[in-house]
């Protein structure tokens, strides 16, 4: 198969001097990106990276993290990117659940994290040649080559993680055909090209970062890699857009988009955006605020789980949008979306059903979780023999024009700042605190319609502060899984059958005696 890396290489041949990556320290041309990737891929091959081998990448964001992903794929392997700012126990759990048998990193990251694998550790500091301004000088003069073995579409491309109810993140296995099809769709459907200047927004370790980085490169455009601290503040984010001529944002959560729209001179600062793609949570609060008028270009609402290569449907939001329904559109190329009832049969148009996704982007399943895989990945009656479809747990109804209207979850999972979170994972960590005897985490909307986590806890907690509970959680969980509020109660309410009555806990008003500090 012709991979997306072959397309990027073609740009290096046709327009070798064009800028592929732009950073505060300088730029990397397409020619340099290709030779750098080739050199590192040869090193990885010599260390045993190849077909079905998972190589974890633990690097700070920057050009070398982009090259690392490309080099692992060119060597025939599969990558697992890690956000090195996450808690160390969680990173170690991801290495184990993801089946990493190699680690690509730097000495500073190794010292700060202590990460290791049962296999080779490739330390970029130990490779020959000091780093130059746009790539290791040791790779200067490496010629491009088409001598790499042809990859199969069924080969593993990458491993991503979702929150798991067992307390361990679930490792999702994505194949190359799905990744290639998706990146090419983004370029084609959204009109990306050599003119595109896209800002990488999503952090490493989050699958949206793959879209942010490689879709613009497939198009022959430029990816801007800004300092992470710059992206976390509205003023510096907006100024970066203006100063660097950014015209494309491929991974913005609606909550952050709403935050940008509320800043001074928002219309002026966002005026240069030709395309904004929102995903990860409901776009309704943003649209209801009237902020669509601040975006003169195209606005796309994307929907899709990690288990289906990031995106399964998209909806082009018109200049005068509907503000009473969360519309997620129609399937992207190569994907299908059925709505089924509890009996597994498709529901008629207009009726509510669970979204079941099929097509080229459906993952193999969860690594090491055969029962969960069998439950979520079912035979696809609309696909070729052996094809499987993914039961999302999301509810929707189909409008007469075929557009899907998202109606929420059928289970407890929620989206927080674009991340899918299983509250049971947080509850498990809370129960590890010596003073906590009971814990239930619910999702609540704030005054702007944004969802946050609310932890209801029982136990001898009179002298335990919220800060102490957060410190306990931070040892194992990333920031997006941190409850905004803690609600101390005497006991958890139960239903007649003895199960925790979660509905009674919503909005922090349980039907039992309690107190909120």
What's the rounded mean pLDDT across residues 439-465?
85
pLDDT of 314 reads 98
> Is the pLDDT assigned to residue 450 strictly greater than 80?
no
Q: For 198-207, 359-368, 412-421, 480-489, which range has the lowest pLDDT when averaged over its residues?
A: 412-421
What residue ranges of the chain are covered by domains with CATH 2.30.38.10? 325-409
Question: What burial letters (b/e) apply to 446-484, b meaning 16+ CB within 10 Å?
Answer: eeebbbbbbbbbbbebeebeeeebeebbeebbbebbbbe
Q: Cα dist. 156→142, 182, 462 in Å? A: 27, 15, 50
pLDDT of 129 reads 54
* CA dist., res. 268 & res. 238, Å (int): 10
What's the mean pLDDT when you consider all of the chain?
A: 88
* CA dist., res. 384 & res. 310, Å (int): 22
What's the rounded mean pLDDT across residues 27-47?
96
pLDDT of 431 reads 81
CA angle (41 as vertex; 35, 45 as ends), nearest 5: 150
Query: Residue 28: phi, psi to the nearest 5?
Result: -120, 120
pLDDT of 149 reads 74
pLDDT of 165 reads 59
> Is the pLDDT assigned to residue 246 strictly greater than 70?
yes
Q: Considering the domain delimited by 325-409, tell me its CATH architecture.
A: Roll (2.30)
Please state which of the four CATH numbers 3.40.50.300, 3.40.50.980, 3.30.930.10, 3.60.20.10 is assigned to the domain occupying 1-151. Answer: 3.40.50.980
* CA dist., res. 461 & res. 473, Å (int): 15
pLDDT tens digits along 295-342? 999 999 999 999 999 999 999 999 999 988 889 999 999 999 999 998
* CA dist., res. 134 & res. 324, Å (int): 49
Higher pLDDT, 368 or 203: 368
**One-character DSSP codes across 193-243:** -TT-EEE--SPTTSTHHHHHHHHHHHTT-EEE---HHHHTSHHHHHHHHHH
* CA dist., res. 303 & res. 335, Å (int): 12
pLDDT tens digits along 141-169? 334 346 777 889 999 999 999 876 556 78
Instruction: Give the CA-trace dihedral at 378, 178, 213, 198, to 10 degrees.
Output: -90
Q: Cα dist. 187→213, 236, 273, 303, 390 in Å? A: 12, 28, 16, 17, 25
pLDDT of 159 reads 98
Higher pLDDT, 209 or 502: 209
pLDDT of 144 reads 39
CA angle (237 as vertex; 235, 240 as ends), nearest 5: 110
pLDDT of 429 reads 85
Per the rule left: phi > 0, alpha: psi between -120 and 50, beta: everything else, 191 is left
Using DSSP, state whether 428 is helix, strand or coil: helix
What's the rounded mean pLDDT across residues 170-182?
97
pLDDT tier at 389, thresholds 50, 70, 90 = very high
* CA dist., res. 41 & res. 50, Å (int): 10
Most confident region among 141-145, 357-361, 481-485 by mean pLDDT: 357-361
pLDDT tier at 205, thresholds 50, 70, 90 = confident
> Is the pLDDT assigned to residue 440 strictly greater than 90?
no
183 close to 218: Cβ distance less than 8 angstroms:
yes
What residue ranges of the chain are covered by domains with CATH 3.30.300.30? 422-515
pLDDT tens digits along 72-114? 999 999 999 999 999 999 999 999 999 999 999 999 999 999 9
Residue 476: alpha-carbon gap to chain centroid: 19
> Is the pLDDT assigned to residue 417 strictly greater than 80?
no
pLDDT of 348 reads 92
pLDDT tier at 452, thresholds 50, 70, 90 = confident
pLDDT of 517 reads 31
Instruction: Give the CA-trace dihedral at 443, 446, 450, 451, to 10 degrees.
Output: -10
Helix 63-74 × helix 4-14 angle, to 10°: 120
Higher pLDDT, 215 or 230: 215
pLDDT tier at 353, thresholds 50, 70, 90 = very high
Q: Cα dist. 343→31, 212, 242, 353 in Å? A: 55, 38, 52, 10
Radius of gyration over every alpha carbon of the chain, rounded to an integer in angstroms:
23
pLDDT tier at 128, thresholds 50, 70, 90 = low
Instruction: Give the CA-trace dihedral at 304, 99, 375, 422, to 10 degrees.
Output: -60
**One-character DSSP codes across 76-139:** T-EEEE--TTS-HHHHHHHHHHHTEEEEEE-HHHHHHH----SS-EEEGGGSSS-EETTEEGGG
pLDDT of 166 reads 59
Three-state SS for 368-413 is CCHHHHHHHEEECCCCCCCCEEEEEEEEEEECCCCCEEEEEECCCC
pLDDT of 426 reads 87
pLDDT tier at 274, thresholds 50, 70, 90 = very high
What's the rounded mean pLDDT across residues 344-371?
95
* CA dist., res. 82 & res. 341, Å (int): 37
What's the rounded mean pLDDT across residues 471-492?
90
Per the rule left: phi > 0, alpha: psi between -120 and 50, beta: everything else, 278 is beta
86 close to 112: Cβ distance less than 8 angstroms:
no
> Is the pLDDT assigned to residue 54 strictly greater than 50?
yes
Residue 120: alpha-carbon gap to chain centroid: 27
295 close to 266: Cβ distance less than 8 angstroms:
no
Fold of 422-515: GMP Synthetase; Chain A, domain 3 (3.30.300)
Q: Residue 20 belongs to what H/E stretch?
A: strand 19-23
Reference 419, options 482, 364, 356; nearest CA is: 482
- N-to-C CA span, the chain: 60
pLDDT of 411 reads 67
* CA dist., res. 423 & res. 145, Å (int): 48
pLDDT of 511 reads 34
What residue ranges of the chain are covered by domains with CATH 3.40.50.980? 1-151
């Amino acid at each position: 198969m012709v991979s997306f890396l072959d397309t990027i290489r073609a740009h290096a041949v046709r327009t070798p001097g064009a800028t592929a990556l732009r950073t505060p320290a300088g730029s990397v041309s397409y020619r340099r990106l290709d030779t750098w990737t080739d050199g590192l891929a040869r090193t990885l091959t010599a260390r045993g990276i190849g077909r079905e081998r998972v190589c974890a990448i633990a690097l700070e964001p920057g050009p070398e993290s982009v090259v690392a992903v490309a080099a692992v794929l060119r060597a025939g392997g599969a990558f697992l990117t890690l956000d090195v700012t996450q808690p160390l126990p969680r990173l170690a759990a991801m290495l184990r659940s993801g089946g990493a048998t190699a680690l690509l990193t730097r000495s500073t990251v190794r010292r700060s994290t202590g990460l290791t694998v049962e296999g080779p550790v490739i330390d970029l500091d130990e490779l020959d040649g000091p780093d130059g301004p746009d790539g290791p000088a040791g790779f200067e003069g490496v010629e491009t080559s088409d001598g790499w073995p042809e990859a199969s579409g069924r080969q593993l491309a990458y491993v991503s993680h979702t929150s798991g109810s067992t307390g361990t993140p679930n490792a999702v296995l994505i194949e190359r055909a799905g990744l290639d099809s998706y990146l090419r769709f983004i370029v084609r459907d959204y009109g990306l090209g050599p003119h595109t200047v896209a800002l990488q927004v999503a952090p490493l370790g989050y699958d949206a970062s793959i879209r942010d980085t490689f879709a613009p490169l497939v198009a022959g455009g430029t990816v801007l890699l800004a300092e992470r601290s710059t992206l976390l503040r509205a003023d510096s984010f907006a100024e970066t857009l203006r100063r660097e001529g950014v015209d494309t944002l491929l991974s913005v959560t609606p909550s952050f988009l709403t935050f940008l729209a509320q800043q001074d001179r928002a219309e002026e600062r966002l005026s240069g955006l030709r395309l904004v793609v929102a995903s990860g949570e409901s776009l309704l609060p943003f649209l209801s605020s009237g902020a669509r008028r601040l975006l003169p270009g195209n606005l796309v609402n994307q929907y899709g789980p990690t288990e289906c290569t990031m995106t399964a449907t998209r909806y082009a939001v018109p200049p005068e949008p509907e503000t009473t329904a969360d519309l997620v559109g129609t399937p992207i190329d190569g994907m299908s979306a059925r709505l089924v009832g509890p009996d597994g049969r498709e529901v008629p148009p207009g009726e509510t059903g669970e979204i079941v996704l099929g097509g080229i982007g459906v993952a193999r399943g969860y690594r090491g979780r055969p029962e969960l895989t069998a439950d979520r990945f079912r035979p696809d009656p609309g696909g070729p023999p052996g094809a499987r479809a993914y039961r999302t747990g999301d509810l929707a109804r189909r409008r007469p024009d075929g557009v899907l209207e998202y109606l929420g979850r059928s289970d407890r999972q929620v989206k927080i700042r674009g991340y899918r979170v299983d509250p049971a994972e947080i509850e498990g960590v809370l129960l590890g605190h010596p003073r906590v005897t009971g814990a239930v985490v619910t999702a609540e909307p704030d005054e702007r319609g944004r969802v946050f986590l609310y932890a209801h806890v029982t136990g001898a907690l009179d002298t335990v502060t919220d800060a102490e509970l957060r410190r306990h959680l931070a040892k194992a969980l990333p920031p997006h899984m941190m409850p905004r509020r803690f609600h101390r109660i005497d006991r958890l309410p139960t239903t007649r059958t003895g199960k925790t009555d979660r509905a009674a806990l919503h909005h922090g008003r349980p039907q039992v005696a309690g107190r909120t500090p």
